Amino acid sequence: MEKIFASLITIGDELLIGQTIDTNSAWMAQQLNDAGIWVQRRVAVGDDRQAIIRALEEEGADSHIILITGGLGPTADDITKPVLCEYFGGKMVQNAGALQNVMDIVQTRGLPMLERNLEQAMVPDAATIIQNKRGTAPGMWFEKNGRIYVSMPGVPHEMKGMMEGYVIPHLRQRFTMPALLHHTLITSGQGESSVAERIKDFEAALPAHMKLAYLPSYGLLKLRLTTFAPDQAAAEADMNKAFSELGTLLADIRVADRDEPMGVILGSLLKTRGLRLGTAESCTGGKIASMVTAVPGSSAWFNGSVVSYANETKMNVLGVRAATLEQYGAVSEETVKEMAAGALEVLRADCVIAVSGIMGPDGGSPEKPVGTVWIAVGGKNSLRTRRYHFRYDRERNTDMTCIAAMNELRKWLEN
């Protein structure tokens, strides 16, 4: 069974100077994996002719499929199209479909039609054109020496439209793929080394076509099993057997049987139990609510949040007592309990997450250093509190707090 290999080439100086975080590649890799295609390399290069040509050559040497994003915009720094035309031979021609698309978009948006917009419809005649329903730059499908090269815009939703509507379906037609499966168990409460120790016999006994990976992630540990097999049924049989064995070995620290965001995990627990959630957030500033509402349909189990950043807001909206804040401080078990009680009432919620902490860089003290967090979770008659101490920067302290707090509620719900 031959594996089908892909490379991703991302073009744009913004990726090399750190101005943009590349989120496209992860999404594209997921799509390719779902189709049974193994991404073996991802390369980012600048808007530079030589660098682009070198990448095309190197990636074409070993990969069946080379997906390229970026550098197709209407401005002078975008050079991908002429470089591809040079590399694959031929000349630039006007594409009628792309022209119509540009004219439609310009008209819908009420923009003037500029010469540089018309140039968006000029394409290499060596390419099969992929129409862009979400923007002016068309995609291009090239073939050379038995390799497939596809060039798409770097704008995420334009690229996604082309991938889903054209690229993935056409790749599925062209290749007979092996089945490629990933399955992830999320655990919490034990470190990478200890877990590895517990399952070392299991790991040693895995067949050669299966792979186990350990991914520490914001205080959780994800264990990912990967398998290749000639067909879907065989892959699933292998996976089910190994995955259930792993799940049994680690049942006591299991969080979820899939790599789902914590919001999704909480959501399905809340839905099953018919409970509605509210949050009272100080140091996390609404990030827990934002993670919760990122889940489609969360309105079925989420009422809202009071982001009580200022002490005044803690008092006015959540009813935290001035005396509590004075005596124990905003970051204390007492305050977080009153925040939770207030949120349960004002948000008419069945259960609650309340957090208060010091995320840094400033605001720490010897008794309450930066990274100190109090978390309360539960319902009206069964509030649980816990103190954490994170030792990272502001951003990571916040993210760790969000996951820890949501995980505390998960434990409360599962008990």
Residue 269 CB, shortest distance to a second copy, in Å, is: 18
Q: Decide: is 218 part of the binding site for a second copy (CB under 8 A).
A: no
- Taking alpha carbons only, the member of 40, 127, 28 closest to residue 70 is 28
> For residues 326 and 415, which CB has a smaller minimum distance to a second copy in the complex?
326
Shortest approach of a second copy to residue 5 CB, angstroms? 10
Nearest distance from C-beta of residue 404 to a second copy, angstroms:
16
Q: Which of 35, 210, 281, 410 binds a second copy (CB under 8 A)?
A: 281
Q: How many residues does the chain have?
A: 415
Alpha-helix runs per DSSP H in 257-385: 262-273, 287-293, 311-316, 322-328, 333-346
For a second copy, the closer CB: 90 or 313: 313
Task: Assess 46 for contact with a second copy (CB under 8 A).
Answer: yes
Residue 249: Cβ-neighbour burial (10 angstroms; 0-12, 13-18, 19+)? middle
**Residue 348 within binding range of a second copy, rule CB under 8 A:** yes
Nearest to 59 by CA among 37, 46, 43: 43
For the chain, the straight-line distance linking the first and the last C-alpha, in angstroms and rounded, comes to 46
Q: Are 302 and 277 in contact (CB under 8 A)?
A: yes
Binding mask 88-127 for a second copy (x = CB under 8 A): ---------------------x-xx-x-xx----------
Residues 3-32 that bind a second copy (CB under 8 A): 13-23, 25-31
- Scanning 169-177, 237-245, 249-257, 391-399 for contacts with a second copy by CB under 8 A, the matching segment is 391-399
Span of 91-99, 124-132, 237-245, 302-310 interacting with a second copy by CB under 8 A: 302-310
Dist CA 6 CA 41 (whole Å): 7
Task: Based on the shown chain and the rule CB under 8 A, indicate whether residue 395 belongs to the binding site for a second copy.
Answer: yes
Helix intervals (H) in 302-393: 311-316, 322-328, 333-346
- What mask, x for binding a second copy by CB under 8 A, covers residues 156 to 185? xx--x---------------------x-x-
Give residues 309-328 in contact with a second copy (rule: CB under 8 A).
309-310, 312-313, 316-317
Among 42, 81, 254, 337, interactor with a second copy by CB under 8 A: 42
Nearest to 332 by CA among 289, 387, 252, 263: 387
Helices 80-88, 49-62: inter-axial angle, 10-degree rounding: 50
